[in-house]
């Protein structure tokens, strides 16, 4: 029996013939409805404590992805989680905790933010979500600060991973005090992603 014959029989029996819709990929038109002014500025640039968190998003072949979107959420430097309404409204002085960055043609993303503090004694990290073409669903991951080996060693997620996997979640401190962190969607250096 062909699928068309089966579909006609189901329709004749009065049952629905529609299939569930598959997950949708993001690009190349994700900017419509997602873009807003200063979206990559979690904190106003060059203010006290402001740093740049940046990196490149790579595909499984090691090529940069020019049309991905990265979102981050993080606590303020003192561990406070922003609960203010309007995290998409940038007023040039309020820490919002949330940012969104589209990658450039070279796969580069960038945020102005602060080093997150520990919320409840755990190793400080940014929660990150990646959207990209070819991904039917978003990918969740974390970006940990490289300092404080004791907290990193005690982190339950990091403790469950081998050394190579842990390295995919820990950022590198740049000479100017910023953070560099590449995200690999697949391949040899694949970033650890979390299932929800």
| pTM exceeding the 0.85 threshold for the entire prediction | no
Which pLDDT band, with edges at 50, 70 and 90, does 3 fall under?
very low
pLDDT digits (tens, 9 = 90+) for 52-91: 999 999 999 999 999 899 999 999 999 998 877 666 677 8
Domains and CATH numbers, the chain: 21-184 (2.60.130.10)
The model's pLDDT over 13-44, given as tens digits with 9 standing for 90+, comes to 555 566 665 555 555 555 667 788 889 999 99
Q: Residue 142's closest CA among 124, 160, 163?
A: 124
Instruction: Report how far residue 13's alpha carbon sits from residue 11's, in angstroms, rounded to the nearest whole number.
Output: 5
The H-assigned helical ranges of 17-148 are none
Mean pLDDT of 186-195: 94
Tokens at 47, concatenated: 């203010």
Please state, in angstroms and rounded to a whole number, the distance separating the CA atoms of residues 144 and 169: 6
Q: What is the DSSP letter of 7?
A: H
Mean predicted confidence (pLDDT) in 113-126: 94
Rounded-to-integer distance, Cα 144 and Cα 147, Å: 9
3-class DSSP state for residue 58? strand
Contact 157, 186 (CB under 8 A): no
């Amino acid at each position: 029996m062909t699928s068309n014959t089966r579909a006609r029989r189901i329709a004749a029996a009065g049952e629905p013939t529609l299939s569930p819709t598959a997950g949708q990929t993001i690009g190349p038109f994700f900017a419509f409805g997602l873009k807003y002014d200063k979206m990559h500025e979690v904190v106003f640039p060059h203010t006290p404590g402001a740093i740049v968190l940046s990196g490149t998003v790579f595909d499984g072949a090691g090529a940069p992805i020019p049309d991905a979107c990265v979102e981050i959420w993080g606590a303020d430097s003192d561990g406070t989680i922003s609960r203010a309404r309007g995290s998409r409204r940038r007023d040039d002085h309020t820490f919002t905790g949330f940012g969104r960055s589209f990658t450039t043609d070279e796969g580069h993303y960038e945020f102005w933010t602060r080093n997150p503090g520990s919320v409840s004694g755990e190793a400080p990290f940014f929660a990150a979500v990646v959207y990209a073409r070819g991904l039917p669903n978003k990918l969740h991951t974390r970006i940990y600060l490289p300092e404080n080996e004791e907290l990193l060693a005690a982190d339950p997620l990091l403790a469950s991973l081998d050394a190579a996997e842990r390295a995919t979640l820990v950022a590198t401190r740049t000479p100017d005090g910023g953070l560099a962190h590449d995200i690999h969607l697949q391949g040899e250096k694949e970033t650890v992603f979390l299932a929800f």
